[in-house]
């Protein structure tokens, strides 16, 4: 096993969001569509698993402002909500 394969990799800046604007509304100043790709926790975990990242630090997306409902649902284990 090489030295690099034993390293713990942590991504220190990720963003998570859900496309469901009714459940997780954006601030009024955000117009148009969200990022065209899926920003869910499920997708992040899948991508992390593929490349060997063992942890991540989520940074709130600006279009949620101080509304942390989606982040709380992830923490509470409801990442498919």
pLDDT score for 81: 46
DSSP per-residue codes, 10-75: EEEEE----S-TTTSPPPTT--S---SS---HHHHHHHHHHHT--EEEE---GGGTT--HHHHHHH
Q: Domain residues of the chain, as ranges?
A: 4-75
| pLDDT tens sequence across 16-75 | 988 888 888 888 776 666 666 788 999 999 999 999 999 999 999 988 889 999 999 888
């Amino acid at each position: 096993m090489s030295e690099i394969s034993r390293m713990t990799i942590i991504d220190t800046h990720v963003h998570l969001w859900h496309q469901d604007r009714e459940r997780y509304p954006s601030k009024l100043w955000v117009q148009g569509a969200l990022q065209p790709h899926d920003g869910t926790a499920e997708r992040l975990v899948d991508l992390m698993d593929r490349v060997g990242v063992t942890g991540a630090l989520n940074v709130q997306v600006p279009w949620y402002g101080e509304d942390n409902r989606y982040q709380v649902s992830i923490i509470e284990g409801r990442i498919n909500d």
